[in-house]
Amino acid sequence: MNDRRRNPFDLAYEDQTPRGGILTRLRGAPRLVFAVLCLLLGFGIALADELLRDVEREAERVQETPVEEATPLEITRAVVADLDGGIGPAVTMLIEEGLEEARSLGDAMLVIRMNTPGGLDSSTRDIIRLILASDIPVMTYVAPSGARAASAGTYILYASHIAAMAPSTNLGAATPVQMGGGFGGGDDDGEDAMTRKVVNDSVAFIRGLAELRGRNADWAEEAVREGSSVTSSVAVEENVADYIAADLREAIDGADGRVINLPRGAFVLETAGAQVVEFEASFMTRFLGVITNPNVAYILMLIGIYGLIFEFANPGIVFSGVIGAISLILGLFALNLLPVNYAAFALVGLGVALMIAEVFSPSFGIMGIGGAIAFALGSMMIFDGEVPGFELDTSVVIAATAVTALIIFIALTAALRSFRARTVSGDQGLRDEIGTVLSWSGDEGEIMIHSERWHAVSDEPLAPGDTVRVLGREGLKLRVVAAAAPAGVDDDASKMPTT
C-alpha cells in the first residue's frame, strides 16, 4: 500500500476515491486553474468598463467641442440637392452624386432641401451611411413652408451635421412600417416579437445618431415608439433641429460659426455669403427615379406582358415583341427595388394567365371575367400602402383593369364572329357561291368563280353568260344549277358528298 501523502497540487496524483457530483469535482480540481479563471474574468470586466468610458468620453468630446479647439472651415459654395417625394434607390444616387459634386468643388457643403413623407428603410440607411462617412459638411433643410421630414426623413435630419427648418414645417412619425419585408403589428406572438425587434432596432439607430450630433435622443425615441411629430418651432426648442430659416440664403448663413465634427476632425463653419449651386441629377438618376415610381413600374410591366402576348399571337410583327420585352425587363427591374407583395404579384400573374386562356380557348367570358377580377385585386395589393411615397394610385389600377377588360371583350367578340361566320375556304367555302358560265356544251362546261375557271356539270341546260349557283364539288368539277332556279331544284344533288 502506498503511504504517500496526498498533495492537492500534485497533478500526477490519481484520486482513487469515488467521484461525486459537480461540487465534489470542483473541490478536487486544482485551485490554480480556478484562480486564473477569476483573474481573466476580472480583467475582462475592467477592460469592458474602460472601453465604455472611452466611448462616453468620445461622445462628450464630439458633442461639446469648444469653438476655440475647432479648425475654421471656409465654405464658399453650397450645393443644393432637392429631395422631394419618397426616399428610394434614386434618392440614394442623388445624394451620392451631390456629395461627389460638392467634394469636387473643394470648399463646398451639401444642402439637402427636403420634403418627404418617408420611404424605404434600405435606401434611408444607405443615405445615412453616406452622410456619416462624408468628409464635407451636410445640411438638411426642411423646406418650403408646409414641407415635412416624416418617417425616414427624420433619420436623415438627425444624421446631418446641420439641421434647419423653414417656418410651418414638421418632422417625426418615425415608427418603422413595412419596408419590403413585412413589418407591423399582429395578433400572434410571432408578429409582436418581430415588431418589437424592428422598433427596438430603429430606436437604437436613431438614438445613436442623436448622441453623435448632440441632439435630443429622448424625443427621437418617442418619435419611433409613439410616432410623435413636432413643428419647426418646437423642434428648435427641444434641440431636435438647430434653427429656423425663412429661405435657403438664411439657412446657409445660419450655419456660420457652428461647430461640426467630420471624420478628419472638428471644424467651425464659415458659410456667410456662400454661393448657391443648384445640383442637377444625372440622366440615369432621373431615369431610375421615373421607373421606380410604383405607377410607372406597374404600367411598364403591363405593356411588357401585352406586347409579348400580341407577338406570340401574331408572329412576325416584331415591334410589339421588342417593345414588350424592353418594357417587361424595365418593369421587373423596378419591382425588384420596390416593396412588392409577392402573393399579390402572383394574383396579377394568375389574372393575366386566365385572360390569355380566354383569348386562345374562349369559355364565353368565364375565364376572362375571373382573370379581370384577379388582376384588379392583385394590382390593388401589389405595393404595400404603408410605405410612404410608394403607393399605387387607385385610378391607375382602375384604368389598367378597364383596358384589360376591353381587350378581353374585343377578343371575345372576334371569337364569336369567327364562330358564327360561314366558311370561306375549302369545299364549304365554294358552296352557294355565284358564278358565270363561260362556255357550255350538253351537261358540262366552264364557269368563272372568284376569278378562277372551273369545270362544271349541271342537269339543266345552260348557255354562256348564265348565272349559276354552286351546289358542291365532284372531284375536280363543280355541280351547279341556274342561280334563278328555286331552292328546291336539284335537292338531291345538293345533298351529295364532296370528295
CATH number at residue 109: 3.90.226.10
Provide the residue type at 110 as one letter. Answer: L
Tell the burial category of 124 from Cβ atoms under 10 Å away from its Cβ (0-12, 13-18, 19+).
Answer: buried
User: Average pLDDT of each block of 10 consecutive residues along the chain (499 residues)?
Assistant: 45 43 46 59 59 48 58 94 92 95 94 93 93 95 95 95 96 74 40 80 94 94 93 95 95 94 92 94 92 90 83 76 90 84 85 76 73 85 72 85 76 64 62 86 86 87 88 84 60 44
Among the candidates 249, 283, 317, a domain finishes at: 283
Question: What is the greatest pairwise CA distance in the chain?
Answer: 148
Together in a domain, 34 and 135: no
* φ/ψ of residue 351, rounded to 5: -60, -45
Cβ atoms < 10 Å from Cβ of 121: 25
The answer for residues whose C-beta is within 8 angstroms of residue 215's C-beta and 6 or more apart is 158, 163, 209, 239, 240
In a domain, 312, yes or no: yes
In this structure, what DSSP letter does residue 66 have? -
Distance from CA of residue 353 to its chain's centroid? 23
Q: What is the enclosing helix (H) or strand (E) of 269?
A: strand 265-270
State residue 499's pLDDT score. 45
Alpha helices in 174-293 (DSSP H): 189-213, 217-225, 232-237, 248-254, 283-291
Together in a domain, 364 and 241: no
Together in a domain, 59 and 79: no
CATH code of the domain containing 438: 2.40.50.140
State residue 34's pLDDT score. 56
Provide the residue type at 141 as one letter. Answer: Y
Together in a domain, 441 and 413: no
Per this entry, what is the length of the chain? 499
Taking the C-alpha atoms of 350, 352, 355 and 356 in order, what is their torsion angle to the nearest 10 degrees?
A: -110
In a domain, 13, yes or no: no
Structural contact between residues 205 and 182, judged by C-beta atoms closer than 8 angstroms: no
Q: Can you tell me the distance from the alpha carbon of 148 to that of 81, in angstroms, rounded to the nearest whole number?
A: 16
Range of the domain at 29: 24-63
Among the candidates 263, 283, 303, a domain finishes at: 283
In a domain, 379, yes or no: yes
In this structure, what DSSP letter does residue 69 have? G
Together in a domain, 98 and 240: yes
Secondary structure of residue 323 in the 3-state scheme = helix
Together in a domain, 54 and 73: no
Q: Can you tell me the distance from the alpha carbon of 25 to that of 15, in angstroms, rounded to the nearest whole number?
A: 11
Among the candidates 283, 316, 343, a domain finishes at: 283
In a domain, 347, yes or no: yes
Counting the structural domains of the chain, the total is 4
State residue 66's pLDDT score. 60
Write out the DSSP string of 151-175.
THHHHHHHHSSEEEE-TT-EEE---
In a domain, 2, yes or no: no
Picking from 441, 436, 498, 445, the residue whose alpha carbon sits closest to that of residue 467 is: 436
Together in a domain, 305 and 256: no
Together in a domain, 485 and 350: no
State residue 386's pLDDT score. 63
Structural contact between residues 466 and 479, judged by C-beta atoms closer than 8 angstroms: no
E-assigned strand segments in 46-157: 71-74, 77-84, 108-115, 138-142, 148-150
Cell numbers for 229 = 411629430
Together in a domain, 95 and 116: yes
Distance from CA of residue 177 to its chain's centroid? 15
Cβ atoms < 10 Å from Cβ of 142: 31
Together in a domain, 250 and 167: yes
Together in a domain, 393 and 435: no
Tell the burial category of 150 from Cβ atoms under 10 Å away from its Cβ (0-12, 13-18, 19+).
Answer: buried
Structural contact between residues 216 and 239, judged by C-beta atoms closer than 8 angstroms: yes
Structural contact between residues 339 and 120, judged by C-beta atoms closer than 8 angstroms: yes
Residue labelled with grid coordinates 475654421: 72
E-assigned strand segments in 8-115: 71-74, 77-84, 108-115
Together in a domain, 167 and 179: yes
- What is the β-pairing status of strands 259-262 and 265-270? antiparallel
In a domain, 4, yes or no: no
